[in-house]
């Protein structure tokens, strides 16, 4: 029986990985671009679990909004700002990998969520454009991780329905029945565990 896996990151940790297979560590509303700024919190937690696989999870809305806002501020394409994010994110994961005996992984971004959410509505993009940006990010992140011997977890195809939209049956639902605008539920954590950690 495989041991537990550490999932570390933002609010997605508590919504998509709240199952026995994981030790969830919430370190704040981070983005991939700024993850190194949280290093003190990361190190404080990881010293307690030096030998377990480590997965970093950041939210799609935060990353995609960062891609958009920086592209506007710098007057560059979203592809340029995507590469800037990944080129800051992966070196930090490489630094962590050098200190650990277990594998370090980056989780892919989830599909775009509810287009009525204020954050998504604030961007002048269609749902198709947001998912195009997400797929570009996932492709570049995956390639960069593999080039640097960092694990890349990609279950994107399992998180979408036949139309390419986010699966409605995997959307996080609060106890009062309200469905979340951009978080997915424990189906994500189970799918990751089944594909990457059940039979290491």
User: 54-57 and 104-107: which strand pairing?
Assistant: parallel
Q: Which residues lie closer than 8 Å to 172 by C-beta, 6 or more apart?
A: 15, 16, 179, 180, 183, 184, 185
Residues 96-110: pLDDT tens digits? Answer: 999 888 999 999 999
Please report the pLDDT score of residue 2 as a whole number.
59
pLDDT at 1: 39
- What's the predicted TM-score (pTM) here? 0.90
Q: What is the pLDDT of residues 136-192, one digit of tens each?
A: 999 999 999 999 999 999 999 999 999 888 888 888 887 887 777 678 888 999 999
The CATH homologous superfamily for domain 5-197 is SGNH hydrolase (3.40.50.1110)
Average pLDDT over residues 61-69: 83
pLDDT mean over 79-87: 94
């Amino acid at each position: 029986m495989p041991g537990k896996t550490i999932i570390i990151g933002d609010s997605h940790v508590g919504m998509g990985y709240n199952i026995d297979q994981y030790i969830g560590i919430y370190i704040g509303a981070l983005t991939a671009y700024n993850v190194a700024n949280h290093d003190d919190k990361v190190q404080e937690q990881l010293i307690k679990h030096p030998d377990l696989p480590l997965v970093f999870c950041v939210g799609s809305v935060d990353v995609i909004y960062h891609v958009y806002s920086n592209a506007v501020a710098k007057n560059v394409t979203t592809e340029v700002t995507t590469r800037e994010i990944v080129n800051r994110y992966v070196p930090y994961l490489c630094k962590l990998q050098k200190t650990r005996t277990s594998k370090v992984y980056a989780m892919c971004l989830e599909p775009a969520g509810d287009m009525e959410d204020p954050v998504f509505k604030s961007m002048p993009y269609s749902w198709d454009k947001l998912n195009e940006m997400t797929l570009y990010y996932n492709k570049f992140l995956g390639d960069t991780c593999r080039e640097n011997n960092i694990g890349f977890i990609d279950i994107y195809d399992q998180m979408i329905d036949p139309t390419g939209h986010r699966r409605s049956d995997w959307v996080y639902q609060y106890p009062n029945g309200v469905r979340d605008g951009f978080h997915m539920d424990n189906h994500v954590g189970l799918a990751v565990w089944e594909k990457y950690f059940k039979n290491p």
